[in-house]
Chain A
Amino acid sequence: QKEVEQDPGPLSVPEGAIVSLNCTYSNSAFQYFMWYRQYSRKGPELLMYTYSSGNKEDGRFTAQVDKSSKYISLFIRDSQPSDSATYLCAMSGGTDKLIFGTGTRLQVFP
């Protein structure tokens, strides 16, 4: 079993839709949870960073962490074609290495 599981997609939605991206994990020691956006042939860009459980909102993006279920989510409101990219979740216990999900490819069509 992988430490971090993420549905690879692709997820195709119309412009304006609410997008829900998710990851599950198995290591209860994970405390730091990140979401990265990666455009084709580019490096990942940090979108959201959350420590422990709870919600965090930044503009159209909301990150949720449910440590009891070992489940994290990223919601994108009013999705735009420019949001089309691969979204990677990543997590760590703090000083150890980041563990990445495989990424979910999102396509937002006009």
Chain B
Amino acid sequence: GAVVSQHPSRVICKSGTSVKIECRSLDFQATTMFWYRQFPKQSLMLMATSNEGSKATYEQGVEKDKFLINHASLTLSTLTVTSAHPEDSSFYICSASKGAWNTEAFFGQGTRLTVV
């Protein structure tokens, strides 16, 4: 199967600090990785798409300077929430794709971020 590991699963941080979330494809090389945000009882909202070795493509309304994405290798992408505030508290989920197609994307376990 295709396994995507996301770490940490839960993090609590103080307002103003930065938090890094890792997403790894364990048994395949991920050409493309996606970062989503999910609010309670709401759908997954795509934040950005990242391709290995290039800059991420952010969705409209997502601050690229606040949500830094690095896709340094074919198996690792990171999302850094900079200067976090309570309104950034949410469930963040990554997915990794074997190809350029969304249909081959597999999801990580998600990270529950709480900013206090």
Contact = CB atoms under 8 A, between A and B. Distances in A.
A60 interface: no
Interface stretch (B12-20, B61-69, B75-83, B105-113): B105-113
Given A101-B43, A102-B41, A102-B43, A43 B103 contact: no
Given A43-B6, A43-B108, A43-B110, A96 B43 contact: no
Contacts of A16: none
A8 B41 CA distance: 8
Is the contact region of chain A dominated by helix, strand, or loop, or is it mixed? Answer: loop
Interface residues of A, number: 24
A34 interface: yes
B49 A41 contact: no
B93 A98 contact: no
Given A43-B6, A43-B93, A88 B103 contact: no
A63 B106 CA distance: 19
Interface string B94-116: 01000011110111111010000
Interface string A19-38: 00000000000001010100
A44 interface: yes
Contacts of A32: 101-103
Interface string B44-85: 101001000000000100000000000000000000000000
Chain B interface residue count: which class? 20 to 34
Contacts of A97: 34, 46, 49, 59, 102
A1 to B, nearest CB: 14
Given A44-B44, A92-B102, 5 more contacts: A4-B43, A43-B109, A46-B107, A94-B102, A97-B59
24 contacts: A8-B41, A32-B102, A41-B110, A42-B109, A43-B107, A43-B108, A43-B110, A44-B44, A44-B107, A46-B107, A88-B44, A92-B103, A95-B100, A97-B49, A97-B59, A97-B102, A98-B44, A98-B46, A98-B105, A102-B41, A102-B42, A102-B43, A103-B41, A103-B43
Interface of A: 4, 8, 32, 34, 36, 41-46, 49, 51, 88, 92, 94-98, 100-103
